[in-house]
């Protein structure tokens, strides 16, 4: 067991955990941050998608020892704070389009959407259907069309 220090949702945290424990379980089982969901544990379903230093990542596929003290992790719980509002524009778009059904995948979908829009802009364009087709996050309720509409609307507010 060793100590690991990093930032989560703007707050510094120190946890006691084995080096190999994946960050998803540090967040969920040790820190009680349950927004990121388990759907596969092998970086396939993307339900746990969160941000590290502003980029999308999947904590189920990262060992806690690989997180540096300077790293900043943002989960769905901390997304609104990154823009200093009650809701991030992407969350608002999700509400406006009433995207969620069961809601289990939606924290991951929103975190992926924000990163995908930023990624497209870094590449010099707004998000396209081809970009949207690359989003791997599964929604077993099949809300894909509303997700696509919400991402385009959310991007407009970002």
Partner 1 sequence: MVELGHEPAPALRPTASRRAFIGFIIGGATLAVAADLGLAERAGAVVPSGPQIPELYDLGDFQTDSARPTANLIKIVLHEDGTASFDLPRMEVGQGITTSSAMIIAEELDLPLDKVHVGLAPARPELLFNQLTGGSNTTVSTYTPIRVAAAIARKALLDAAAIELGSVVALLKSKEGVITAPSGKSVTYGQLATKAASPTTKAVRIKLGPPSKFSVIGTPRNRIDARAAVTGTKTFAMDMQVPGALPTMVCRPPSLNGSPVAIRNRTLVLAMPGVTDIVMVDTGVAVQAQTFGQCIDAVRMLDVQWKAGSVEGESDATILAKLHKAELPMIVPKVPRLAKQVDTSFTFMFRSSAALEPNCAIADVRSDHATVWAGLKAPIVAQGMIAKALGLPQSAVTVNVITGGGSFGHKLFGDAALESAKISRAMGKPVKLMWHRADEPRQGRTHPMATSRIRATYLGGQVLSFEQRHTSISTDFAHGLGEMITHNIDKLPTGLGGLGFSETIFTLTQELPYNFGVVTQLLNETDQRFNTGSMRQIYSPDVACANELMIDHLAQLMGKDPVAFRLEFLKSSRAKAALRKVASVGQWGRKMPAGMAQGVAIHSEYKGVTAVLVELDCRPATVNRNIPNAVTGPRVTKAVIAVDAGLVINPRGLEAQMMGGVSDGIALALTSSLHLEDGHFLEASWDNYFYTRQWNAPLEFQCIVMPSDSEQPGGAGEAGVAATVAAVAGAYGRATGTMPTRFPINHDTVSFTVKSFIPPVPEPPTDGLSQTY
Least Å distance, CB 69 to partner 1, is 15
Does the footprint of partner 1 cover residue 121 (CB under 8 A)?
A: no
Q: What are phi and psi of 130, to 5 degrees?
A: -65, -40
Does the footprint of partner 1 cover residue 152 (CB under 8 A)?
A: no
CA distance 37 to 2: 25
* CA 39 remoteness from chain centre: 14
CA distance 48 to 120: 21
Strand pairing report for 2-8 and 72-74: parallel
CA distance 69 to 158: 28
Least Å distance, CB 24 to partner 1, is 7
CA distance 121 to 41: 30
Site string for partner 1, 37-66 (x = CB under 8 A): xxxxxxxxx-x----x--xxxxxxxxx--x
Does the footprint of partner 1 cover residue 156 (CB under 8 A)?
A: no
Does the footprint of partner 1 cover residue 126 (CB under 8 A)?
A: no
CB 136 within 8 A of CB 44: yes
Size of site (CB under 8 A) for partner 1: 78
Least Å distance, CB 62 to partner 1, is 4
Q: Which is nearer to partner 1, 1 or 5 (CB)?
A: 1
Site for partner 1 in 81-120 (CB under 8 A): 87, 91, 94-95, 98-107, 110, 115-116, 119
Q: Which is nearer to partner 1, 5 or 53 (CB)?
A: 53
CA distance 85 to 125: 26
Does the footprint of partner 1 cover residue 123 (CB under 8 A)?
A: no
């Amino acid at each position: 067991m060793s100590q690991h220090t990093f930032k989560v949702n703007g707050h510094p945290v120190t946890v006691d955990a084995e080096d190999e424990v994946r960050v998803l379980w540090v967040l969920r089982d040790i820190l009680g941050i349950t927004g990121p969901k388990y759907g596969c544990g092998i970086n396939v379903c993307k339900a746990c998608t969160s941000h590290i230093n502003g980029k999308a990542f999947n904590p189920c596929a990262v060992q806690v020892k690989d997180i540096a003290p300077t790293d900043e992790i943002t989960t769905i719980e901390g997304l609104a704070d990154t823009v200093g509002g009650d809701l991030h524009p992407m969350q608002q778009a999700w509400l406006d389009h009433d995207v969620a059904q069961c809601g289990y995948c939606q924290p991951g979908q929103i975190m992926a959407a924000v990163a995908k829009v930023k990624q497209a802009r870094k590449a010099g364009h707004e998000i396209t259907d081809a970009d949207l087709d690359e989003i791997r996050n599964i929604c077993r309720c099949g809300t894909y069309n509303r997700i696509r509409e919400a991402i385009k609307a959310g991007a407009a507010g970002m």
